[in-house]
Amino acid sequence: MAELKTKRFSIGYALLLKKQKSFIQDSLVNLAKQRGIDLIKIDTDKPLVDQGPFDCVLHKLYGEEWRKQLQEYLVCNPSAIVIDFPDAIERLHNRISMLDVVSEIEEVKDNETASFGVPKQVVVYEPEKLKDAKAWSEGLKFPVIAKPLVADGSAKSHKMLLIFSTEGFDELKTPTVLQEFVNHGGVIFKVYVVGKYVKCVKRKSLPDITEEKLDSLSGSLSFSQISNLTSDERNDDKYYKMMDSEDAAMPPMSLITNIACGLRTTMKLHLFNFDVIRDTKAGNRYLVIDINYFPGYAKMPGYESVLTDFFWDVLNKKEDRSFNCEKGLMKLVGNNGGCGEEDTGSPTVSSALKKGEP
C-alpha cells in the first residue's frame, strides 16, 4: 500500500535584499521545511502572476505597481494568503496616522495602575511656521524631537533631530513632525508582535535631559550626537548605573499585551513592532513612540520557531476574508480574535483571502 504524502505548503517571499539577508536565514528555512513549509524567493523582475502558485505571499514591498500585482495574483489564486495588506501597511508610512491608531485602542482596566498613550506631537507643513513657536507649539515645549512625516524605511525617513531652541530649525525641511521629548530613564521597550505572539525586550535609549542641562543647550543635535550630551558625567559610576537597562523594570505584561492586541486588531496587521517608553515623571505612564511594519525579527531570540509557528497557523487555520475585484480593493473582514501572553508561541490569525462577490 502506497504511503500517503503529507501536504507541503509554499510561501513566496518578496523582500528587499537587506531584509532577505537578515530574515531569510538557513535556520528559519530549515525549520520551516521540517514543518512542511517551503520558503521560495519571488523574482521581482517577473510578474507575480507567472510565479508559484504559492499558498502564501509574504512581502515588504511598496508602490502601486506591486499592489496591482498582488491584486492580479489574488484574482487568479483566490485561496492564496497575503501577509499583510498594502492598505493596512500604508498607514504606518505617516508618523501622524501611525500613532493616531493608539487612541483607537480601548484601554482595558485590570489590577494594574499603569496607563498608556502617545507623546504630544504636531505636524508642520510650512517652513516659515517652524520659527514661530506660537504657530505650532500647542502645549509643546523644548526640547522636541523632529522627525520626517514620511516613515517609509528609507535612510531619509530615519534622520531625526533633538531640538533645543528655534535655531535648531534652520536646516530642517518640511513637512516634519515635532514630538515632545519625554525623559524616560534612558531605556526603551521594543515590543515584537507576530500574530498573537508578543515579546517585550528593553534597550538603551536617549539619556534624560535635566532642566539645568537644557539651559546650557541650543540649536539641535542629531540622534547620533546625543551621546555626547552627558560626556562630563560619564566618569561617574552613578551615571552608568542609572543608564543600565538591565536594572530597569519591565512594563506590566498585561498592559503590553493589551496595546499589542489593540494595535493588531485596529491596524489589521500581523507582523509589526512598537516602541514604548516610561514617563519618568509619571512613573506608571507608558508612551508609544513608534510603530514599524515587519521589523528585524532576527534580533529576537528564537525568532525561527515563532515565525514558523505563525506560518503554520496561518496556512492551516484560515479565517474568512474577501477580495473585492470590482473595486480593486483588498478588504480584511472576519474576526480578529484576541492576543496571547508573552512567549505563547502559538499565534492564531491569517490574512487568508477568498474571492468575494462584486
DSSP 173-216: -SSEEEEE----TTEEEEEEEETTEEEEEEEE-PPP--HHHHHT
How far apart are the C-alpha atoms of 315 and 313, rounded to whole Å?
5
Q: Give per-residue pLDDT as tens, 120-155.
A: 988 888 888 887 777 676 778 888 899 888 887 777
> Percentage of the chain surpassing pLDDT 90?
46
Q: How confident is the model at residue 257 (pLDDT cuts 50, 70, 90)?
A: very high
| Vertex 223 angle, CA 217 and 229, to 5° | 40
- State the alpha helices, DSSP H only, in 112-195: 127-130, 133-136
**pLDDT band per the 50, 70, 90 thresholds, residue 295:** very high
**Three-state secondary structure call for residue 128:** helix
pLDDT over 60 at 343, yes or no:
no
pLDDT-based confidence at residue 109 (cuts at 50, 70, 90)? low
Please name the residues in contact with 302: beta carbons below 8 A apart, sequence gap of 6 or more.
none
Q: What is the pLDDT of residue 323?
A: 34
pLDDT in tens, 201-226: 999 988 888 777 777 677 777 766 56
In angstroms, the Cα distances linking 210 to 187, 216, 226, 277, 278 are 16, 10, 14, 17, 16
> Which grid cell sits at 99?
500613532
Cβ neighbours of 284 (radius 10 Å): 14
Residue 55's CB is within 10 A of a number of other CB atoms, namely: 21
The three-state secondary structure class of 39 is strand
DSSP 249: P
Angle CA 294–297–302, to nearest 5: 145
pTM, to two decimals: 0.82
